[in-house]
């Protein structure tokens, strides 16, 4: 049997964490593998994600996932399909208590169909959806991890035991003050992670930037417990595919990572919906390529067409952060207006997001042709448009990588989770953006001015171009391609061994 026809029998099921920033890269991975080796790829998503994806694509399953079958897993999570996605707590509850039996049902049904070539050869599990790892074990299906964000974040959560034993955090994840009396400026923000040699000290990250420090004490503790469980389950994985590139641009400053014995870390990113991994481009624009959970405003592109090259400030805080509050929104609005440049601002239409906007702000700036506020934009199309001059971003991984892909310099305003780590890479390691120290009107205005004009702006533009070259065109691509091949070869071998 030829390698091609042998590969055609391999069914791989992909299980993402149910949030936009996770479903998108997992779908890109599924497509990359489906197109490469004739793999039969199935994306198993909770029912509420399935409904959202289908409703953005006219209900055509083939179109929705584009060469990847999309299967709904009952979740029991109520969802009105509106601006606000279901919250973290209800998602975690569904993942631990509701979805496992249904995924097990799917895998067993596939095994029963094995005679027709349907048994799953592998389950690719988002490491944050680690609930699926024991399901795979129960069904006798090999599980492989997928880490959708910067590997640096993985290193931080994998180092939780080290952070505890060195007195950086308590047993419940709370940052601890230094044991000496030498309180310096960095210590007042938290202890420096660089001191533990977890990440390069050039990043200037501290314990205040740890990814589970989201919301109040109860939320922080439950997120920390979630991470502990995640890290524990990840230990059993033989292989983790990482949606990032080796070294993450840290060069010599990057300390090599020692995985647990027997575990392989394969960098396969950044994954995009294009042909840069040797596959045909999706027939639709990326905005409609099937992963979106919200309808993109169709008027963004024609508005951009009317703007001068490089003049527009694009602002978006992604899909998975809480409203930043009326005071900050008010200041942002004033700062954007004061900067005197056209801006396109993605701001969910839910009142909790827009509270704080000055009266008639959206209408006034639109009428004057100075700006546009939409609740969801076709972001990749926006970033590749020549009118965009900079991106004010919350530093979600996908947004950061998309900005690099399209060569757009950034103004970094991290809000929660891994975004502080991403921001540190963008600003301190890659020099592809600057940090917005606060949302105050003058700070926003000054930052936009320094990025859009003068020496600083030119420096950022050059650095983004250098990163783009390295990540999108250089050695990073060939490593990603090679690692995808290695991964597929491993699946084929273990499937052959098992049969």
Q: Is 264 exposed, middle or buried (0-12, 13-18, 19+ CB in 10 A)?
A: middle
State the minimum distance, in angstroms, from the CB of residue 401 to ligand UPG: 8
Three-state DSSP class for 103?
Answer: helix
State the minimum distance, in angstroms, from the CB of residue 369 to ligand UPG: 21
What does DSSP assign to residue 175? B
State the minimum distance, in angstroms, from the CB of residue 384 to ligand UPG: 11
- Distance, in Å, from the CA atom of 399 to the CA atom of 242, rounded to the nearest integer, reads 17
Give the CA radius of gyration of the chain.
Answer: 22
State the minimum distance, in angstroms, from the CB of residue 142 to ligand UPG: 24
Measured from the CB atom, is 206 or 423 closer to ligand UPG?
A: 423
State the minimum distance, in angstroms, from the CB of residue 317 to ligand UPG: 7
- Distance, in Å, from the CA atom of 40 to the CA atom of 118, rounded to the nearest integer, reads 9
State the minimum distance, in angstroms, from the CB of residue 81 to ligand UPG: 16
- Beta bridge pairs of residue 45: 72
Half-sphere exposure at residue 251, Cβ-oriented, CA atoms within 13 angstroms: 8
Q: Is the peptide bond before 382 cis (omega within 30 degrees of 0)?
A: no
Measured from the CB atom, is 68 or 121 closer to ligand UPG?
A: 68
Measured from the CB atom, is 148 or 249 closer to ligand UPG?
A: 148
Other beta carbons within 10 angstroms of residue 348's beta carbon come to 18
Measured from the CB atom, is 289 or 451 closer to ligand UPG?
A: 289
Measured from the CB atom, is 40 or 313 closer to ligand UPG?
A: 313
What does DSSP assign to residue 375? S
Measured from the CB atom, is 44 or 377 closer to ligand UPG?
A: 377
Helices 151-158 & 217-234, crossing angle to 10 degrees? 100
DSSP secondary structure, 126-154, as one string: EGGGTTHHHHHHHHT--EEEEE-S-HHHH
DSSP secondary structure, 421-458, as one string: HHHHIIIIIS--EEE-----HHHHHHHHHHHHSHHHHH
Contact predicate 451/411, CB 8 Å = yes
State the minimum distance, in angstroms, from the CB of residue 105 to ligand UPG: 27
CA distances from 69 to 31, 119, 220, 290 (A): 10, 15, 36, 11
State the minimum distance, in angstroms, from the CB of residue 321 to ligand UPG: 5
Vertex 351 angle, CA 349 and 357, to 5°: 85
Contact predicate 417/394, CB 8 Å = no
State the minimum distance, in angstroms, from the CB of residue 209 to ligand UPG: 12
Measured from the CB atom, is 148 or 342 closer to ligand UPG?
A: 148
Chain positions contacting ligand UPG, by CB under 6 A:
19-22, 24, 148-149, 292, 316, 318-321, 346, 376-377, 379-380, 396-399, 402, 417-419
Residues 6 or more apart in contact with residue 486 via CB below 8 angstroms: 266
Measured from the CB atom, is 160 or 271 closer to ligand UPG?
A: 271
State the minimum distance, in angstroms, from the CB of residue 20 to ligand UPG: 4
State the minimum distance, in angstroms, from the CB of residue 27 to ligand UPG: 10
Tokens 């993450």 locate to: 248
- Distance, in Å, from the CA atom of 257 to the CA atom of 238, rounded to the nearest integer, reads 15
- Distance, in Å, from the CA atom of 430 to the CA atom of 7, rounded to the nearest integer, reads 39
Measured from the CB atom, is 94 or 292 closer to ligand UPG?
A: 292
State the minimum distance, in angstroms, from the CB of residue 210 to ligand UPG: 13
Measured from the CB atom, is 227 or 376 closer to ligand UPG?
A: 376
Measured from the CB atom, is 290 or 356 closer to ligand UPG?
A: 290
Measured from the CB atom, is 141 or 156 closer to ligand UPG?
A: 156
């Amino acid at each position: 049997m030829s390698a091609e026809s042998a590969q055609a029998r391999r069914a791989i099921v992909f299980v993402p964490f149910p949030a936009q920033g996770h479903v998108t890269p997992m779908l890109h991975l599924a497509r990359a593998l489906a197109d490469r080796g004739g793999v039969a790829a199935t994306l198993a998503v909770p029912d509420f994600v399935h409904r959202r994806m289908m409703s953005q694509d006219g209900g055509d399953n083939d179109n929705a996932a584009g060469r990847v079958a999309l299967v709904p897993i009952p979740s029991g999570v109520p969802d009105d399909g509106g601006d606000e996605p279901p919250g973290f707590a209800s998602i975690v509850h569904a993942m631990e208590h509701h979805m496992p039996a249904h995924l097990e049902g799917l895998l067993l049904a596939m095994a029963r169909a094995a005679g027709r070539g349907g048994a799953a050869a592998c389950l690719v599990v988002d490491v944050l959806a680690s609930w699926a790892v024991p399901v795979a074990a129960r069904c006798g299906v090999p599980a492989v991890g997928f880490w959708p964000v910067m590997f640096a974040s993985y290193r931080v959560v994998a180092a939780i035991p080290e952070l505890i034993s060195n007195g950086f955090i308590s047993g419940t994840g709370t940052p601890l003050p230094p044991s000496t009396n030498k309180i310096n400026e960095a210590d007042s923000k938290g202890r420096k992670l660089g001191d533990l040699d977890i990440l390069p000290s050039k990043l200037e990250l501290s314990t205040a930037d740890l990814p589970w420090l989201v919301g109040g004490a109860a939320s922080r503790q439950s997120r920390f417990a979630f991470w502990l469980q995640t890290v524990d389950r990840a230990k059993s994985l033989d292989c983790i595919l990482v949606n990032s590139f080796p070294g993450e641009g840290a060069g010599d400053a990057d300390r090599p990572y020692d995985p647990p014995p027997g575990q392989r870390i394969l960098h396969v990113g950044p994954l995009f919906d294009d042909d840069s991994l040797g596959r045909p481009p999706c027939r639709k624009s990326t905005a409609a390529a099937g992963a979106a959970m919200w309808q993109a405003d169709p008027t963004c592109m024609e508005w951009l067409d009317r703007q001068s090259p490089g003049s527009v400030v694009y602002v978006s805080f992604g899909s998975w952060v809480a409203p930043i509050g009326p005071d900050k929104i008010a200041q942002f609005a004033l700062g954007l207006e004061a900067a005197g440049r056209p801006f396109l601002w993605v701001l969910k239409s839910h009142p909790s997001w827009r509270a704080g906007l000055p009266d008639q702000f959206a209408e006034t700036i639109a009428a004057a042709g100075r700006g546009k506020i939409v609740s969801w934009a076709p972001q990749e199309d926006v970033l590749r448009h020549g009118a965009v001059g900079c991106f004010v971003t919350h530093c979600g991984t996908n947004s950061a990588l998309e900005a690099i892909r399209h060569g757009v310099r950034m103004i970094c305003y991290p809000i929660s989770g891994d975004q502080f780590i991403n921001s540190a890479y963008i600003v301190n390691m890659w020099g592809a953006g600057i940090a917005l120290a606060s949302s105050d009107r003058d700070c926003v205005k000054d930052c936009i001015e320094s990025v859009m004009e003068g020496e600083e702006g030119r420096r950022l533009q050059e650095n983004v171009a250098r990163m783009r070259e390295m990540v999108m065109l250089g050695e990073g691509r060939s490593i990603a391609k090679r690692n995808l091949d290695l991964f597929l070869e491993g699946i084929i071998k273990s499937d052959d061994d098992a049969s």
